């Protein structure tokens, strides 16, 4: 695969991931769709898109692709993501999500016996300090419910990512997990039927989030991923909260507070330090 193609695919994938935050926030802020319905439509649309991609590639989204535990983690992420964006701005939500995902994956590494180098320890403390600083009470602090939902979504996505580290066709496995997550989401919608609210604009945003930003976004990312080293793959994902912030300002008219800027520098800078130092350690060996 050429370098130019890798760059284009990676840029498209990161833009799609950031677009999820914008589409979800836009739908839950400016349309009548409820969070449970948005989650169900997003997962259903994503499942259909991934199934189509797998079939076009000559594979089959067999029942054996994926598993129910991973599907449950995927559903938990998607539901928490949707309910968080009822109140959170796009930029804040993306930053909290990314921070929670990375903290989960770093914590898993520590639990398995990995040891941090001094610079990595500084980076981890800096990132956690940024998260704490963002969540401290104050006029510019994010709503507690929304922040809690997004942190939970990030932990769930971290678990999903860790469970996905297995050999095989990642796109086919993801398609299977999306398919399994749909009935779980439908059950949530059924439980919350009394609060169900739908409109055309909200449904269109949910379909775009599921089919394009999620399903097609993951398919593109998994195409580019084999050509990227693990550290590079982790590093480029630092761009997602930044892109979401730019999109929130440009398309949603969101204001960026000094607290958010400082927290972003601390969280993204700290995580970058952990990732890059890990790469240096690997190169040294």
Cβ atoms within 10 Å, residue 168: 9
Number of domains observed in the structure of the chain: 1
Q: How far apart are CA 216 and CA 49, in angstroms?
A: 7
- First and final C-alpha spacing in the chain: 27
Question: Can you give the residue range of the structural domain that contains 237?
Answer: 3-284
Contact between 274 and 149 (Cβ < 8 Å): no
- The encoded tokens of residue 73 equal 């983690």
Q: Which SS3 state, helix, strand or coil, does residue 156 take?
A: helix
Q: How far apart are CA 127 and CA 81, in angstroms?
A: 21
Confidence at residue 285, expressed as pLDDT on a 0 to 100 scale:
41
- The encoded tokens of residue 76 equal 């938990």
Confidence at residue 246, expressed as pLDDT on a 0 to 100 scale:
94
Q: How far apart are CA 16 and CA 6, in angstroms?
A: 15
Please give the angle made by the CA atoms of 272, 156 and 233, to the nearest 5 degrees.
35
Task: State pTM to two decimals.
Answer: 0.91
Confidence at residue 282, expressed as pLDDT on a 0 to 100 scale:
53
Q: How far apart are CA 45 and CA 179, in angstroms?
A: 10
Q: How far apart are CA 76 and CA 59, in angstroms?
A: 27
Q: Which tens digit of pLDDT belongs to each residue from 135-179?
A: 887 767 899 999 999 999 999 999 999 998 777 789 999 999 999
- The encoded tokens of residue 91 equal 């930029």
Confidence at residue 278, expressed as pLDDT on a 0 to 100 scale:
67
Counting as low any pLDDT under 70, the low residues of the chain are 59-64, 139, 230-231, 278-285
């Amino acid at each position: 695969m050429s370098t130019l193609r890798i760059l284009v695919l990676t840029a498209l994938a990161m833009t799609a991931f950031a677009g999820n935050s914008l589409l979800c926030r836009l739908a839950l802020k400016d349309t009548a769709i409820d969070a449970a319905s948005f989650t169900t439509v997003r997962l259903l649309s994503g499942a259909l898109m991934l199934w189509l991609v797998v079939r076009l590639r000559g594979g089959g989204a067999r029942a054996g692709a994926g598993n129910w535990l991973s599907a449950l983690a995927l559903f938990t992420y998607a539901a928490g993501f949707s309910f968080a964006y009822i109140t959170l701005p796009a930029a804040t939500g993306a930053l909290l999500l990314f921070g929670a995902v990375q903290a989960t994956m770093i914590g898993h590494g520590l639990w398995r016996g990995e040891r941090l180098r001094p610079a990595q320890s500084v980076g981890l403390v800096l990132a956690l300090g940024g998260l704490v600083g963002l969540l401290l009470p104050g006029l510019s602090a994010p709503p507690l419910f929304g922040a809690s939902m997004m942190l939970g979504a990030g932990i769930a996505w971290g678990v999903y990512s860790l469970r996905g580290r297995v050999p095989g066709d990642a796109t086919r496995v993801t398609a299977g997990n999306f398919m399994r997550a749909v009935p779980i989401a439908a059950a949530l919608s059924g439980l919350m039927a009394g609060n169900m609210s739908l409109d055309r604009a909200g449904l269109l945003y949910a379909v775009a989030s599921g089919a394009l930003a999620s399903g097609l976004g993951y398919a593109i990312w998994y195409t580019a991923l084999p050509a990227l080293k693990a550290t590079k793959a982790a590093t480029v994902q630092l761009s997602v909260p930044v892109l979401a912030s730019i999109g929130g300002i440009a398309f949603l008219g969101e204001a960026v507070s000094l607290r958010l800027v400082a927290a972003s520098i601390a969280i993204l800078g700290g995580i970058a330090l952990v990732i890059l130092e890990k790469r240096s350690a690997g190169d040294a060996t």
